[in-house]
Each structure stands twice: as structure tokens, then as C-alpha cells.
Amino acid sequence: MRDCALKCAKTKECCVREECRLWIDYPEDLNCTSVAIAKHGPMTLEEVAIRHNLSTVRIKQILDATLVKLKKRLVKTITI
């Protein structure tokens, strides 16, 4: 976990660093993705969608695109 996330978790105050790539507008998890993962562990697509204010379908599209990119990188690494 990042230092700022540890600080927020320790003080139980919401993160105010909106420019951070892990920031989410979800005060229950102190506005931090790292805190949400540490607090809840693996989450369903629906739980992620709620936290990011997106639809479950959109989260699935993002997940699928990410998996395609990872597979391409893996293939490159194996063939080199």
C-alpha cells in the first residue's frame, strides 16, 4: 500500500489527493482503491462498478481489454 493510503487508513480520514491514480470518489473506503482492496479483498464486477460509478458492463469491457494487453505482453516475453 502507498504511504498516503497507509496514512489515511491509520487516521481514518478520507484521501483528498484527487490527482492520485488510486483515488476514487467513495468515502466508505476513504476515497482510496488501495484501502478498498485491503478492506474487502477480491471484489465482484458489481462492487467495482459501484465504487467507480460505472456500469457492470463497462467494468467488464475494461477487464477484457486489460486481459488482451496482458496476453500480448506475455506472448512477447515468451518469444524473446
pTM of the predicted model as reported, rounded to 2 decimal places: 0.76
Domain ranges of the chain: 1-41, 43-80
- Whether 80 has a pLDDT exceeding 70, the answer reads no
Phi and psi, residue 39, nearest 5°: -75, -40
Each as own residue / partner, the long-range contacts of residues 1-8 (CB below 8 Å, 24 or more positions apart, any chain) are 1/34, 1/35, 1/38, 2/34, 4/32, 5/30, 5/32, 5/34, 5/35, 5/38, 8/32, 8/35
Q: Which residue has the cell 478520507?
A: 14
Select the more confidently predicted residue: 80 or 45.
45
The 10s digit of each residue's pLDDT in 14-66 is 988 889 888 999 999 999 999 999 999 999 999 999 999 999 999 999 999 99
pLDDT at residue 9 in the model? 85
- Residue 8: closest CA among 43, 24, 53, 63: 24
pLDDT value at position 68? Answer: 96
